[in-house]
Amino acid sequence: MHSYSRVLQRIICDFGADHAFGKVNQKLQEHYGIMVPTSSACRITEYHGHQIGARKEWRCASVPKAEIVIGESDGSMLPLVETYLPEGVGVSHDRRKNKRLFWKEARLSLAHAKNSVTPYVAATMESVKEAGEQLMSCVQRAGADEKTQVHCVGDGAPWIAHQVEEQFGARGTYLIDFYHLCEYMAKAAESCAPNDKATWLEKQKERMKQSQHQKVLLALRPYLELAETEEAQAPVRACYRYISNRPLQLDYKRAQEQELPIGSGEIESAHRYVLQERLKIAGAWWDSQNAKDMIALRVCRVNQHWDEYWKQAA
C-alpha cells in the first residue's frame, strides 16, 4: 500500500466508499487514466475505514446551544459472512470453502437542533448501550446541554425507548413514529369498519393527533378477537396492545404544538444514504470487521470530517 501516494489513496477511498470495489478501476480509468488491482482498492479503502473508526475525537465546529434537539435511532440489518475451519481439518484448509451467511443489525443514530437540516450521525454494530451513548454524543454535538429538551422519535423498538430514558432522563421525550402506528390502525380497520375503512381510520388518526389514545382504545375494544385467535388473524388485538403498552409515547399533540416531527422518516432516509447504498448492494456479503470499517468511512463523510482525516493522514 505504501507504493500508492496519499493523493491516490484518497481518490481510491472516495470511489470505494460509494461503489463496489470491482467498479473502482472503471472510475479511475474514466477520470484519471490509471488502473489498480481490485484487491488493492479493497485493501486501501478498508484500511482507511479502520483508521477512521479507531479515532475517538474529531474537531467539531462550534454550534450555538439549542433549546430543543431532535434525536432519532433505528436499526438496519446488514449482510455478513463468516468463514471457519471445520472440525478435524488442518490450518492449511481453505476457509473460504466453509462460510456462514447471516444478517446483523447496525444501529444508526442522528441528531440536530430544531430548525436545523444538518444532522450529526453515528452508527454501531455493537450493543444497544453503545448505540444509546452514540445518540447522546450526537445530541451533544447538535448543541444540547443539561437544560436542552431532547425530542426523540422511533418505530417502537423497546431498546430505543429504553436508551432515550437512560441517556436523557426527564429532559428526554420519546414518540412512536406516527406512520408506524397508522399501519397497525389500518390493519385493525379491516375488522372494525369493513364497509368504510377510510372514514374510520381517519377518525382514529385525528384522535391520536389530539393525544386521545384512550378514545382509540374504546373504538377498538368491541372488535377484539377471541383469546384463542392466532396472532396473525388478530389485527385489532395487535393494535390495541401496541397502543395500550405505550401510553407515554403517544403525545402527538404536544409535538405538533412545538412544531416537532411525529415521524421517523429522517432516520429511515439516513439508513439508505449512510449504510444501505454501499453495504447492501447486490451480492455483497461483508466480514464483520470490514463492515465496521466501511460504516466508519461513510459516517466520517456524512459528518464532514473527510478533509480533516486526510490532512491528519498526509
Task: Give the model confidence (pLDDT) of 146-161 as tens digits.
Answer: 999 999 999 989 999 9
Residue 89: predicted pLDDT: 58
Task: Give the model confidence (pLDDT) of 219-259 as tens digits.
Answer: 999 999 999 999 999 999 999 999 999 999 999 999 999 99
Residue 98: predicted pLDDT: 74
CATH number at residue 143: 3.30.420.10
Average pLDDT along the chain: 93
Residue 256 domain flag: no
Q: Which residue has the higher pLDDT, 268 or 99?
A: 268
Q: How confident is the model at residue 105 (pLDDT cuts 50, 70, 90)?
A: very high
138 and 197 housed in the same domain: no
Residue 87: predicted pLDDT: 64
Q: Considering the chain, what percentage of its residues have pLDDT values greater than 90?
A: 86
Residue 203 to residue 22: CA distance in whole angstroms: 53
Residue 57: predicted pLDDT: 82
Residue 70: predicted pLDDT: 98
Residue 151 domain flag: yes
Q: How confident is the model at residue 199 (pLDDT cuts 50, 70, 90)?
A: very high
Residue 81 to residue 78: CA distance in whole angstroms: 10
Residue 230: predicted pLDDT: 96
Residues 121, 299 contacting (CB under 8 angstroms) = yes
Residue 94: predicted pLDDT: 52
156 and 144 housed in the same domain: yes
What mean pLDDT comes out for the span 18-35?
93
What mean pLDDT comes out for the span 68-97?
78
Residue 61 domain flag: no
Out of 17-31, 55-69, 95-109, the most confident range is: 17-31
Using a cut of 0.85, tell me whether the model's pTM lies above it: yes
Residue 117 domain flag: yes
Q: Above 60 in pLDDT, residue 17?
A: yes
Residue 52: predicted pLDDT: 96
Residue 314: predicted pLDDT: 62
268 and 300 housed in the same domain: yes
Residue 88 domain flag: no
268 and 119 housed in the same domain: yes
Q: Above 90 in pLDDT, residue 41?
A: yes
Residue 89 domain flag: no
List the domain range (segments joined by +) for residue 49. Answer: 6-54
Instruction: Give phi and psi for 76, each to the nearest 5.
Output: -140, 135
What mean pLDDT comes out for the span 76-99?
72
Number of domains in the chain: 3
User: What 3-state class would DSSP assign to 105?
Assistant: strand
Residue 93: predicted pLDDT: 54
101 and 170 housed in the same domain: yes
- Give me the sign of the Cα torsion angle 214, 215, 219, 222: positive
3-state secondary structure 118-187: CCEEEEECCCHHHHHHHHHHHHHHCCCCCCCEEEEEECCCHHHHHHHHHHHHHHEEEEECHHHHHHHHHH
What mean pLDDT comes out for the span 194-219?
97
Q: How do strand 172-176 and strand 68-83 relate by DSSP bridges?
A: unpaired
Contacts for 285 with CB less than 8 Å, ≥ 6 apart:
79, 80, 81, 101
Q: Above 70 in pLDDT, residue 90?
A: no
166 and 76 housed in the same domain: yes
Residue 62: predicted pLDDT: 76
159 and 101 housed in the same domain: yes
Residue 298 domain flag: yes
Residue 88: predicted pLDDT: 58
75 and 157 housed in the same domain: yes
